[in-house]
Amino acid sequence: MTLKIALVQTDSLIGNVATNFNRIIEIVTKVKNALVIDLIVFPELTLTGYPPEDLLFRRDFITEANNTLFELASIAPDIGIVVGFPEFDGEKLYNSAAVLSEGCISAIYRKQKLPNDGVFDEQRYFTAGEKPVVFEFKGQFIGLSICEDVWHCDMVQATKDAGAEILLTLNASPFHAGKAQQRETLISSHAKAAQLPIVYVNAVGGQDELVFDGASFVVNAKGEIVFRAEEFVEQISVVEFENGQPLEQIPLSLPFKKEGQKKAPFLKGVGGFALIYKALVLGTADYVRKNGFKGAILGLSGGIDSALVLALAVDALGAENVEAVSLPSKYTLDMSNDDAKIQADIMGVKYHSIPIEPAVKAFTEILAKTFANTPADTTEENIQARCRGVVLMAMSNKQGKLLLTTGNKSEMSVGYATLYGDMCGGFAPLKDVPKLLVYELARFRNSISPVIPERVLTRAPSAELSPNQQDSDSLPPYEILDPILARYIEQNQTADEIIAAGFSLEHVTRAIRLVDGSEYKRRQSATGIRISERAFGRDRRYPITSGYRGI
């Protein structure tokens, strides 16, 4: 007894039920034309995209999704479809999976474990389901689960006890570094413990700060990974089961060309940087595409952060859709201007050089009377940054291109950025990327093809807002600062714990004060791509006004 199951890792557009519906129809049609398939499995909440957030409070949105499900059931009566949707039963809303076969809805499963931590707040919207669901399909008994459910061994065992011979799990599991291996390790152990094969189908694509990495996989009853789809690409894969056990795997990449490999390797690169880089590229590409921008624009300073953002933008959007703008001041070094022009030429983007000194002079004159008899300080530095922001935002508005900010996580952590200046923009690709990782990712990108000048990688970082300025004038060296920030922000360690780990009282105290005092800036910053387990935004929510002092 054989069963061919197609795993579809697809990129849904949140809120656009019609577009997602048409995409499902397109995929089902192509799969039917390519191979004889019994069952097609889509990710969690495919009809609406994940996470739809407060769209779930809109009754018209939910009604459209539910009506579309009934329409979907009739499009392919000769093939089974499993799809995620928000189910409204007249009183309560559930995160559900529907089995569509023979022109009708033959089974519905309601997610039982509703995550409510980190980036998840499903208990705000959904009611938890109460029981496992097992349906018979072509002589085999198949169980269903949704994302968080399969992370709990007792849930897998309960589905096995209900009679399942195969478990299908629909997922919208967002990426962070190491997440794919973490999934496989845990779910493989659950499959082995229950002696139940598991088909894990995950979403792919960028959604605001989240990126979904795909990497769908199949594990047999022994806990062995027998198939893995690619990461960060839309892909349809087919696995064949015989008497409940997975056999041949036939990877198919849109538009459904057979590939030779049976199990895609994890993306590799020094330190796993390839995987992070690809997440940043996909997150940037989808944000621009899904929000209807004509391309992207960024300030190119000749420094490492903007150099990496330019590389990401070109890889995401194509050189023809990216513009780079150099905005030199009287403090900008010649080598910064030279390196910016060199990189722009290498990457083939449209390049502008617009000196900001006339604008800075105008503002200085306007404020001369008000600032009389006061010494120059960071105020004058910030005026320069804000002049750049005005120019870049004007170009963004005029051309319909998204302004990418270039600040990194280290800077965002300690507030080493200017509100309404270099923080201007609509999307921050490096918002969750610490400074030391910026260098590693730049070196990784250069290992593919040398696009970032070597001098950019080796010179000391500087904002170039005053004579001979360097980041180390205001901050501890990044080799010290970044590990402190990781412990305080991502691991939630106390000052005493960080000091006990070998960091000085001076460095820890300064770093924590800067982090806590910069919350008001971060609250106004552009959204950025999440690559860690605790990014600013959905993960880490601190009050701006607070009397708490952790030092």
Choice among 122, 147, 278, 409 that is catalytic: 147
Residue 166: strand, helix, or coil? strand
Q: Are strands 140-146 and 166-171 parallel, antiparallel or unpaired?
A: parallel
Question: Which residue matches tokens 């890889």?
Answer: 315
Q: Give the C-alpha separation, 108 to 82, whole Å.
A: 9
With a CB cutoff of 8 Å and minimum separation 6, the contacts of 26 are none
44 is catalytic: yes
Q: Give the C-alpha separation, 364 to 330, whole Å.
A: 14
Q: Are 399 and 504 in contact (CB under 8 A)?
A: no
Choice among 44, 230, 323, 490 that is catalytic: 44
Sign of CA dihedral 116, 118, 121, 127: negative
262 is catalytic: no
How far are the Cα atoms of 26, 235, 321, 448, 500 from residue 274, in angstroms, in the given order?
31, 19, 23, 10, 33
Question: Which residue matches tokens 């064949």?
Answer: 240
Choice among 111, 278, 290, 521 that is catalytic: 111
476: region left, alpha or beta (phi > 0 left; psi from -120 to 50 alpha) = beta
Sign of CA dihedral 260, 222, 197, 47: negative
153 is catalytic: no
Radius of gyration of the chain (CA): 26
Q: How far is CA 229 from the centre of its chain?
A: 18
How far are the Cα atoms of 479, 494, 512 from residue 505, in angstroms, in the given order?
16, 12, 11
Q: Are 298 and 403 in contact (CB under 8 A)?
A: yes
- One-letter amino acid of 288: V
Residues acting as catalytic residues? 44, 111, 147
